[in-house]
């Protein structure tokens, strides 16, 4: 989890901002083999930091890489530590960088058809297009609005494994896996998680990952609000996938002309 701030974790939703019901589509860019997408419903006042973490779990990424948003004007919204690093490395005015704890989804997407880019793993550069497809009002029951809800409504195909070498590395891997006689075939089979299926998407598993993250965030916030010292503030453990062997990454990147 990369919501890294020294202050108490902000709430998932910014209650000072309007809350509309957003219907969205998240699609991984560049896949020629088949479309990898997810359908999402969530309130417009969700903070970008939490939205980014939800998207990690919605897609099925492990989540130990940095991730960020880019709006239509090229401004970037990223974690606190990444923004601080950018502020040190780049001169003012080159690119606008913002802490994604301070902005909401509704600040960037306002009307049907609006889009922005979400990037997972700034090295492999898996870019996704997030499109606002519908905007609705939340209906009130007995004068009370329902609780905010992040919901996965559908999707197709598995997301690539972490550290596969970008979209080109993933497509190279899928090509190799179709040929058991390829010299890289067994290396990929040994590296991949058991039962990996590029065409599998289990919506129930995705919803469970999201629910588990929501529960972890609220547990951490309650502990922090009880004034637990910073060194005693635990973050939920994240299982790290074994990094792809260097020679496989090099082969996968060959012939891409530097694109990633």
Q: Per-residue pLDDT tens for 36-49?
A: 999 999 999 999 99
The rounded mean pLDDT for the chain is 83
Number of domains comprising the chain: 1
Per-residue pLDDT at 256 = 53
Give the residue numbers spanning the domain of 87. Answer: 21-159+199-242
Q: At 48, which CATH number?
A: 3.10.290.30
pLDDT above 90 for 118: yes
Three-state DSSP state, 152: strand
**Does some domain include residue 181?**
no
pLDDT above 80 for 250: no
Closest C-alpha to 161, from 100, 248, 79: 248
**Does some domain include residue 131?**
yes
Residue 23: CB partners within 8 Å, gap ≥ 6?
39, 40, 41, 132, 133, 134, 135, 136, 153
> Strand 76-78's sheet: what is its strand order?
97-99, 76-78, 67-70, 115-120, 126-136, 21-28, 37-43, 151-156
DSSP string, 33-47: SS--EEEEEEETTBB
Structure confidence at residue 234 as a pLDDT band (50, 70, 90): very low
Per-residue pLDDT at 72 = 92
Percent of the chain with pLDDT over 90: 57
**Does some domain include residue 178?**
no
Tell me the C-alpha distance between 117 and 110, whole Å.
15
In degrees, rounded to 5, the angle at the alpha carbon of residue 58 between the alpha carbons of residues 163 and 62 is 30
63: left (phi over 0), alpha (psi -120 to 50) or beta: left
pLDDT above 90 for 220: no
Structure confidence at residue 258 as a pLDDT band (50, 70, 90): very low
At 257, list the tokens. Answer: 């002309």
**Does some domain include residue 2?**
no
Per-residue pLDDT at 217 = 81
Structure-derived torsion over alpha carbons of residues 128, 6, 99, 97, reported in degrees to the nearest 10:
-110
Structure confidence at residue 128 as a pLDDT band (50, 70, 90): very high
Q: Per-residue pLDDT tens for 48-102?
A: 999 999 999 999 999 889 999 999 999 999 987 777 666 666 656 667 889 899 9
Per-residue pLDDT at 207 = 94
Structure confidence at residue 215 as a pLDDT band (50, 70, 90): confident
Three-state DSSP state, 28: strand
Three-state DSSP state, 211: helix
Q: Per-residue pLDDT tens for 154-202?
A: 999 999 999 999 999 999 999 999 999 999 999 999 999 888 999 999 9
Q: Per-residue pLDDT tens for 140-163?
A: 777 666 666 899 999 999 999 999
Q: Looking at the DSSP assignment, which residues form a beta bridge with residue 104?
A: 47
Expressed in angstroms, the distance from the first to the final Cα of the chain is 24
Q: Cβ-count burial of 109 within 10 angstroms (0-12 exposed, 13-18 middle, 19+ buried)?
A: buried
């Amino acid at each position: 989890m990369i919501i890294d701030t020294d202050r108490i974790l902000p709430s998932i939703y910014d209650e000072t901002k309007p809350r509309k019901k957003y219907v969205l589509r998240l699609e991984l860019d560049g896949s020629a083999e088949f479309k990898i997408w997810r359908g999402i419903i969530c309130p417009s006042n969700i903070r970008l930091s939490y939205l980014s973490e939800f998207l990690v779990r919605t897609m099925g990424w492990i989540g130990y890489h940095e991730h960020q948003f880019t709006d239509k004007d090229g401004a970037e919204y990223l974690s606190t530590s990444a923004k601080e690093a950018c502020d040190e490395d780049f001169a003012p005015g080159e690119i606008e960088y913002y802490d994604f704890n301070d902005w909401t989804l509704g600040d960037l997407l306002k009307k049907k058809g609006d889009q922005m880019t979400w990037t997972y793993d700034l090295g492999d550069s898996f870019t996704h297009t997030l499109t606002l497809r519908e905007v609705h009002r939340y209906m009130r029951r007995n004068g009370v609005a329902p609780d905010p809800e992040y919901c996965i409504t559908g999707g197709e195909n598995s997301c690539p494994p972490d550290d596969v070498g970008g979209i080109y590395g993933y497509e190279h891997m899928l090509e190799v896996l179709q040929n058991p006689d390829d010299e890289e075939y067994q290396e990929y089979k040994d590296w991949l998680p058991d039962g990996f299926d590029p065409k599998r998407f289990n919506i129930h598993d995705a919803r469970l990952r999201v629910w588990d993250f929501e529960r972890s965030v609220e547990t951490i916030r309650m502990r922090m609000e009880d004034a637990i010292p910073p060194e005693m503030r635990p973050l939920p453990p994240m299982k790290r996938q074994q990094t792809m062997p260097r020679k496989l990454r090099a082969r996968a990147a060959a012939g891409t002309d530097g694109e990633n």
